[in-house]
Structure 1
């Protein structure tokens, strides 16, 4: 049986095929180019939060099937998040490009599309639907596609968070020119979590790149730990989506982090 990551990549390729039938790449590129300038990612020296909107997750089940995405994005901004991440994968995460557009309309923060993208066409699609940044997963992209995707994102003024699971992924991301590298402690092939991966891989990321800790961060102690390892931001999803009002949770995590300095 194909592993989870392979399933998601194949599903993404199927969606890509449908999208191409509706909108040619040249038309999608023109739509992306006609958008206003993308909002700038600003991750300074202070430890930031990328707050995520997702209706469900394979590892957690349904989190919040009915959610006002624009309002959730506003709540994240009010609580001090630096970026809003939006899952657009429909089958296992319940997301859509409509959610992406809603989040973009609901906040002044930069918005990132999180999905299992397999082709540069989807970068144009991402910008055309209001996102300012995009997640790229090294494990589903060959070197040529990764470089081209980064190039398209840069051309459109977007940031790209390049996700890694192991040493080879980090090496490939850096060779391709990634400036923002995420370490995911969840193995997307079998969905297992190894928090130790954050420590094991952090020093492999060059000091001139920015590092993001992704997945499995639910407590103040875990939040402080990834900050102490030298990450510039943490991506928080399930812990926020479980809450009716995520503001207190996000402020508690951020406040505890700031108090530890």
Structure 2
């Protein structure tokens, strides 16, 4: 199976009607793995979410008024969940799963909206990612509230220190921004638009990163408007399974023909006329 992975800031799914609309939208879109941010949930929400989506919903709560993340697996995708870690409650949720011979670390991020808090948050992200096995596949997605390139925002980066931390994380763990890799020349696509005082600010805050070693398994990516949110939905389609070796074939090393010892070890071939 080739899962369709999505990340979306829901701006709060606390209200039952809003939650139903968001989950219905995601269900109809056929998304297999969903990273949600700003879910505004507490432990009492678990049953109602699972009633509408299914039993594969994993939370990291904060308060019903702010933060909160959730990772959802569709009923059609049933990986073996090896571990669940709330590395930063309400902001960083990690699921380690086994699917089709491959161990995948799904890391769902919601960075703080307050600029001074972001560098410390990304330091904690860096420390946590350092505990993961570098040989396993890493999918890092969410609302980063930080951009790494000028073309991904209309104004100045408000937290350069946080951007530097995130840049180091991306480089150290050999992560690739999948959408940017697929659309290297696009300078007009953003995931968040803020309008204030007759001015608008655009930025691509919502992204999905994939281990460089598995980038060839990412077939497509997209950014599309999402109802009920002022953020757009970022998606990738990736074949997350262990690489299977192709058929083997024997190949003669031609350099051996220049090895006198090798050549003389074979009896001479008869001429065609002697057969």
Name the TM-score, length of structure 2 as normaliser. 0.36
Decide which structure has the larger Cα Rg and report it: 2
Q: Relative contact order (alpha carbons < 8 A, sep ≥ 6): 1 or 2 greater?
A: 1
Q: Which has the higher strand share?
A: 2
Name the TM-score, length of structure 1 as normaliser. 0.37
